[in-house]
């Protein structure tokens, strides 16, 4: 298991130490992921969020709150709907011990997910379906306050990291945060039902990268997340107490011309997860594995293209300019959420 560097947001805000910016950018380059510590994001807040989402998944019919006409970009996505892209060519390059558990071509994911929009949306946009009104489940009077509380806290921490990483990439401090302004950010807790999917190596979320700019995760109550480093190493990830895990997405790969690669990952039923299941079963606690995840996006109408110093003839050929909304819709089509 790798110990990812931990970036202390409060320390940076107090010192504005550019060496921390360089560390953030270099870590994203080398690993595609890092951890951040932010005192504004507490364990008790995460617990409040996880408790509510566990209850939601335990009681949902997975139909009333689904919006397939909006590519499932708000509301609930039931299990066996999303299929990861086929990354067989990438998997072939990996050493046997670092290959994913996920079958290639992949099966449909066994996870469910709820998308809740976080932050303001643009008044005019070419991509209305990516900026739709939120879905509020019945019977959860605390839903809106809890989702907004947790989503905004994680997004605020991520914006501070984006400033740091931008400086480390040689950009202005506001380069990434400006691109994120009015982005279709989504708080996206996944739910995996361990009452059903509880066999060793059951794949809950198949081998994939994230299509957005940056992804941030709070600590889950179950292990099982594995990530791939830039060198092809597969490693489990354990988020330190009081920290958040950040992963680079495809939009950041675009902007850096591939200097940062969107990190591959999968979620499976591991031996440690089986142990936690038995402990929680004995304590009569929920057996739904909830991820505390937020997807931060570039604004839908922003242009994705390599930025200096990463803009070269080669990188512009590999990453031709495209509206972020079109890039998202193309990715959704590949994972069978688009039309």
pLDDT value of residue 266: 95
Confidence of residue 337 (pLDDT cuts 50, 70, 90): low
- The pLDDT of residue 39 is 94
φ, ψ of residue 36 in degrees (nearest 5): -125, 145
Average pLDDT, the chain: 94
170-198 mean pLDDT: 97
At 338 the pLDDT is: 53
Neighbours of 292 (CB within 10 A): 26
Q: Using CA atoms, how far apart are residues 207 and 327, in angstroms rounded to an integer?
A: 20
pLDDT in tens, 68-125: 988 898 999 999 998 988 999 999 999 999 999 998 888 999 999 999 999 988 888 8
Overall residue count recorded for the chain in this entry: 339
Q: Check: CB of residue 169 under 8 Å from CB of residue 25.
A: yes
Closest CA to 1 of 273, 272, 237: 237
Question: 131 or 183: whose pLDDT is higher?
Answer: 183
Compute CA distances 5 → 37, 46, 230, whole Å.
Answer: 10, 21, 15
Rounded average pLDDT over 269-293: 97
Residue 32 C-alpha from the chain's centroid: 12
Task: Report the candidate in 85, 261, 265, 249 with the shortest Cα–Cα distance to residue 179.
Answer: 249
Check pLDDT > 80 for residue 131: no
Give the rounded percent of residues in the chain with a pLDDT score beyond 70: 99
Instruction: Name which residue leads in pLDDT, 253 or 330.
Output: 253
CA pair distance 52, 117, nearest whole angstrom = 17
pLDDT at 123: 84
User: Residue 221 above 70 pLDDT?
Assistant: yes
How high is the pLDDT of residue 73? 85
State in Å, rounded, how far the first CA of the chain is from the last one.
Answer: 39
Burial code of 21-51, b = ≥16 C-beta within 10 A, e = fewer? bbbbbbbbbebbbbbbbbeebeeebbebbbe
In the CATH hierarchy, which fold is given to the domain comprising 6-83+120-190+210-218+239-262+289-334?
Jelly Rolls (2.60.120)
Q: Tell me how far apart the alpha carbons of residues 283 and 89 are, in angstroms, rounded to a whole number.
A: 44
Residue 260, pLDDT score: 98
Q: How many CB atoms lie within 10 A of CB 142?
A: 11
pLDDT band at 130 (very low <50, low <70, confident <90, very high): confident
Q: Beta strand 190-193 with 214-218: parallel, antiparallel or unpaired?
A: unpaired
Mean pLDDT confidence for 46-67? 97
Reply yes or no on whether the pLDDT at 336 is more than 90: no
Q: Where are the alpha helices (DSSP H) in the chain?
A: 9-15, 18-31, 43-59, 88-92, 143-168, 175-180, 250-255, 271-282, 313-318, 324-334
| Average pLDDT value for residue range 117-141 | 88
CB 39 within 8 A of CB 241: no
pLDDT band at 128; cut points 50, 70, 90: confident
The closest alpha carbon to 306, from 297, 296, 324, 319, belongs to 319
pLDDT at 145: 98
How many Cβ atoms from other residues are within 10 Å of residue 174's Cβ?
Answer: 14
Secondary structure percentages of the chain, helix, strand, coil, to 5:
35, 20, 45
């Amino acid at each position: 298991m790798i110990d990812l560097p931990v970036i202390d947001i409060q320390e940076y805000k107090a010192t504005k130490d550019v060496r921390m910016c360089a560390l953030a950018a270099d870590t994203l380059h080398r690993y595609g992921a890092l951890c951040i510590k932010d005192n504004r994001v507490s364990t008790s807040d995460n617990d409040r969020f996880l408790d509510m989402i566990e209850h939601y998944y335990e009681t949902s019919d997975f139909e009333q709150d689904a919006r397939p006409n909006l590519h499932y970009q708000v509301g609930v996505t039931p299990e066996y709907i999303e299929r990861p892209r086929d990354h067989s060519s990438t998997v072939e390059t990996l050493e046997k011990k670092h290959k994913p558990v996920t079958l290639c071509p992949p099966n449909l994911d066994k996870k469910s997910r709820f998308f809740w929009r976080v932050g303001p949306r643009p008044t005019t946009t070419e991509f209305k379906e990516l900026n739709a009104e939120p879905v509020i489940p019945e019977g959860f009077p605390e839903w809106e306050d809890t989702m907004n509380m947790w989503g905004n806290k994680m997004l605020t921490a991520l914006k501070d990291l984006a400033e740091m990483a931008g400086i480390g990439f040689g950009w202005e401090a506001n380069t990434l945060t400006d691109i994120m302004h009015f982005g279709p950010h989504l708080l996206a807790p996944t739910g995996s039902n361990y009452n059903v999917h509880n066999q060793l190596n059951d794949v809950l979320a198949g081998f994939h990268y994230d299509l957005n700019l940056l992804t941030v995760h709070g600590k889950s109550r179950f292990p099982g997340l594995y990530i791939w480093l830039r060198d092809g190493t597969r490693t489990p990830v354990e988020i330190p107490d009081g920290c958040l895990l950040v992963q680079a997405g495809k939009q950041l790969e675009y902007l850096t011309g591939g200097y940062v690669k969107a990190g591959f990952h999968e979620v499976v039923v591991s031996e440690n997860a089986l142990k936690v299941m038995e402990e929680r079963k004995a304590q009569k606690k929920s057996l739904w594995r909830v991820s505390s995840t937020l997807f931060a996006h570039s604004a839908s109408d922003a242009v994705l293209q390599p930025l200096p110093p990463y803009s070269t003839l080669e990188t512009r050929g590999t990453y031709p300019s495209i509206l972020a909304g079109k890039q998202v819709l193309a990715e959704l089509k590949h994972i069978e959420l688009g039309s």
